[in-house]
Amino acid sequence: MSHLDIAVLTSAANALFAFLVFHVLLMRVFKAINMPFLILTSIVLGVFLNGFSFNLVLEVSGINKEIPLRLSLFSAVLSVTLYALLVFHYIAWIFGMSEAAIRIRLLFEVGKKPHGGVKVGEILEHYNAATILEVRLKRLVTAGHIRFDGSRYQIRISPLLIQLWLMKGIMKLLGADREDVPGNKSKREG
Amino acid sequence: MICVLLALSCFILYVLSHAVAFRAGLIRFELIRIFVLMLLWGIVYFFVANSIRLELGWKSSLFDLPLFWSSLLLYVLMSFWYFGETTAVRHPSPSMKIVAALSKNGGEISAEEIRKQFSNEELIVSRLNDLVAHGHIKYDGNSYTLLPSGDLVVRIFRRYRQLLGRNLGG
């Protein structure tokens, strides 16, 4: 493995580790502060540590004098990009799942009675479409994805809206229509 | 820099080849096939990088090419992002459905109008059926019981939420 690879990968890994520690600490200490802000703060702290770590590895290995500045900067940007993608995957697959996945929550609900069965009605008593919607709307407003003026919700330019555009773009690229999405089949049939 | 360009090219070709295969009806949203396609373009990355190494007369190993591993990781992470996007397209989250509903209605909607688009059948019952199909819970015709794989998921996420100092999500 080249020294440059070691510098890029080590600093991205260090930054990811720092992000994981920061976000756990911040979330445990500052429970009253809204979560998106804490996550964003942890990401930014990770970016700083990424740059510091990259520079340190280059200096320790002594290759900072061997490689041109342009390649060094390019590698630093690559390292931050890898760190950002790692954080994205962590948030999408682990943090996001624990925070918002309905299936995980349903497993918890079923698991409340480990030896006896749980009926749908019992789950719906305290976890249903209305409670899910209420939590989601509150979360979207808090995170700044949408705005509520007291009677109507309004959309804002946000990462979630960009995600929606991306999904539409992918559907268009694939040549897929709404009928390819399982949830929409019933609409086609009925 | 060549390896990074190669990784980006492989990623773009991976997405485009999925689009072509999708339009031809060969690969739809089957995750295993999409994953195999990702592996194939990963192999192409190895072969092309090796060809470049030979062409440039690079004497050391392929694995010592500058940024070879970083570029490979870039390809893998970007490919998994696309992998995740294809899942999100098929199973949009409730939050995404809210934003989609707002977008469709000119950026504004009342709480009542949003409420009409969500039902217990769609949000709860269909997901319980999905958990039964995947062997995480069982249904005896009257009630649901947790199976070992579901219990493992619950244990892992409970510990994780305790670590974060947060209550149940969902």
Structural domain range at position B36:
2-90
Residue A73 contacts B, CB cutoff 8 Å: no
From B164, which residue of chain A is nearest by alpha-carbon distance? A24
Read off the pLDDT band of A16 (50, 70, 90): very high
- The DSSP code sequence of A121-182 is HHHHHHSSHHHHHHHHHHHHHHTTSEEE-SSEEEE---HHHHHHHHHHHHHHHHT--GGGSG
pLDDT average, residue stretch B4-15: 95
- pLDDT tens sequence across A137-178: 888 888 888 888 888 888 888 888 888 888 888 888 888 875
Residues of A within 8 A of B28 (CB-CB) are 180
Q: Does the distance separating the beta carbons of B85 and A154 come in below 8 Å? A: no
pLDDT average, residue stretch A98-117: 84
Which runs of consecutive H residues, i.e. helices, occur in A30-68? 35-61
pLDDT at residue B60 above 90?
no
Q: How many domains does chain B have?
A: 2
Q: How many domains does chain A have?
A: 3
Of B22, B78, B95, the CB nearest to A176: B22
User: Residue B113 domain-assigned?
Assistant: no
From A180, which residue of chain B is nearest by alpha-carbon distance? B90
pLDDT at residue A11 above 50?
yes
ipTM above 0.85, yes or no: no
The candidate with the shortest Cα–Cα distance to A11, out of A62, A65, A48, is: A48
pLDDT at residue A54 above 70?
yes
Last residue of a domain, one of B41, B75, B90: B90
Read off the pLDDT band of A181 (50, 70, 90): low
| CA of B61 vs chain A CAs: smallest distance (Å) | 9
| CA of B41 vs chain A CAs: smallest distance (Å) | 18
User: Residue A186 domain-assigned?
Assistant: no
Of B70, B118, B137, the CB nearest to A9: B70
Structural domain range at position A151:
147-178
Read off the pLDDT band of B15 (50, 70, 90): very high
* Highest mean pLDDT: which range of A40-49, A93-102, B115-124: A40-49
pLDDT average, residue stretch B144-149: 90
Q: Do both B19 and B85 map to the same domain?
A: yes
Instruction: Number of A to B CB contacts under 8 A, please give it.
Output: 242
Higher pLDDT, B9 or B84: B9
A interface test, pick of B4, B8, B105, B123 with most A CB neighbours within 10 Å: B123
pLDDT at residue B93 above 90?
no
- The DSSP code sequence of B50-63 is HHHHHHTT--S-GG
Read off the pLDDT band of A20 (50, 70, 90): very high
- Taking the whole predicted model, whether its pTM rises above 0.90 is answered as no
User: Residue B28 domain-assigned?
Assistant: yes
pLDDT at residue A185 above 50?
no
Confidence at residue A23, expressed as pLDDT on a 0 to 100 scale: 92
Residues of B within 8 A of A181 (CB-CB) are 89-90, 92
